[in-house]
Structure 1
Amino acid sequence: MSITWLTCAHSALAAGNADLSVSGIITPSSCTPSLSNGGIVDHGKLTSKNLDQDLPTRLPASELQLQIDCEGPTFFTLTTIDNRDGTSAVNQAYHGLGTVNDDQKLGSVGFGIFEPQADGNAVLTIMSRDNGSNWGLSTYLGHAGLTAFASPDDLRTPIALQHLSARLRAVTLIAPASGLTLLDELPIDGHATLQITY
């Protein structure tokens, strides 16, 4: 009996085999962001004589209303993609405004989130610079960190939210005029994508 068993086992091993795997992804509730004014901050026309020659010129801050709606309570983080990457003139954690003559960086724009309300309650904006290992109080929204929201009772732990509303403030800085060729009209060409990860 044992010889017959070994022969059968050897025969089965010689027949070959195939792997079978089962895969898929279960996603949490989807979330949809929206910004007032179509997400556009328009500073209108500026004259070069109003730009500081030696220091960055800060333009009036602009605000948009940020709304995020999820199908159910969801843990999510916010970050941005700088679509003018490498052109930020004043602060590398901000977003670029394009270039003049292909080599002069026009300026920077930074974003912050203020007075967030989630599901009828006041929450606080927190940020992580180490991919979510540690969190701290910050209004920053950008590509240099992850932004989330926390209860006032625990500033180090992101919470799940379903409906969020907040003021998104944009601060625009134009590089010192002495470093810019200002012979023709120059477009302020900032562009960023708000990204939600959940």
Structure 2
Amino acid sequence: MADSTDLTITGTIIPTSCTPAFSGGNLVDLGNIPAASLNRDRQTELTNRNITLSVSCSASAPMAIKVHDNQAHTQRPGIVVDGTDWKMYIFGIGEVDGNKIGGYGLRFGKPSVDGELSSVMYKQGTSANWSEPETATLLGKNYEGNLRYSWGRSTAAGPLPGMVHTFPMTLVPVIGPTSSLPITSDISLNGSATFELLYL
């Protein structure tokens, strides 16, 4: 009797497809930052930058996002954005010679679905219900549990379906005290986050 092996083919046919993109591209260049403009003994908040995640769909659909911090290991402890230093709200911005440079927050604005303004909501873990964000301003990262964000008319109504979704944010970059940074040479910032799109 001959030996055998199986080939399994999987896949899913979905009723709609959506394409996410950042207005102005997915690179935020903070430019040259003079070391003399930074505080030696406390953090320095740099000029904020506005960014917008836009999602275009082939048919009306509700959706959610997860945000993954690809530089979480470089997030400097003690960095504060909008009054919070919770790890889940501060993203890493790079390190130099083993020293963490700082961090940044993503302050969310008012999303819209096909032009209709919406409210931000979230789910954590296996929760069946949508809730209002725990902070009024900052987007949390999915560093533990199944944290996802969406938008709609209310948490009771849930995510709003549509063909064009816009999610405005403000990038709030922060550099830690320079007393622990080797500022005798150029220091490159290196933040990176992945926005994962979820079909609901």
TM-score by structure 2 length? 0.77
Contact preservation (8 Å) 1:96, 1:108: yes
Which range moved further: 107-116 or 131-140?
Answer: 131-140
Change (3 A) 1:115 1:185: same
Identity %: 26
Change (3 A) 1:76 1:161: same
| Residues in 1 aligned to 2:9 and 2:99: alpha-carbon distance in whole angstroms | 53
Residue 70 of structure 2 corresponds to residue 80 of structure 1: no
Whose radius of gyration is greater, 1 or 2?
1
Aligned to 1:120: 115
Aligned to 1:176: 177
Change (3 A) 1:133 1:108: farther
Q: Offset at 1:142? A: 4.1
The letter of the residue matching 1:98 is G
Change (3 A) 1:73 1:112: farther
Unaligned 5+ residue runs, structure 2? 1-7, 80-84
Change (3 A) 1:184 1:81: same
Contact preservation (8 Å) 2:91, 2:105: yes
Change (3 A) 1:107 1:29: same
Contact preservation (8 Å) 2:113, 2:160: no
Unaligned 5+ residue runs, structure 1? 1-20
Match of 2:39 among 52, 55, 65: 52
Aligned to 1:160: 161
Q: Offset at 1:24? A: 4.8
Match of 2:93 among 76, 81, 97: 97
| Residues in 1 aligned to 2:126 and 2:181: alpha-carbon distance in whole angstroms | 36
Runs of 4+ in 1 over 6 A off after TM superposition: none
Within 5 Å, which residues of 2 pair with 1:3-82?
24-82=11-69
Aligned to 2:150: 148
Aligned to 1:111: 106
Q: Which has the higher helix share?
A: 1
Q: Offset at 1:26? A: 3.4
Deviations 1:134-155 (A, max 9, x none): 4333354342331100214x45
Aligned to 1:16: none
Aligned to 1:185: 186
TM-score by structure 1 length? 0.78
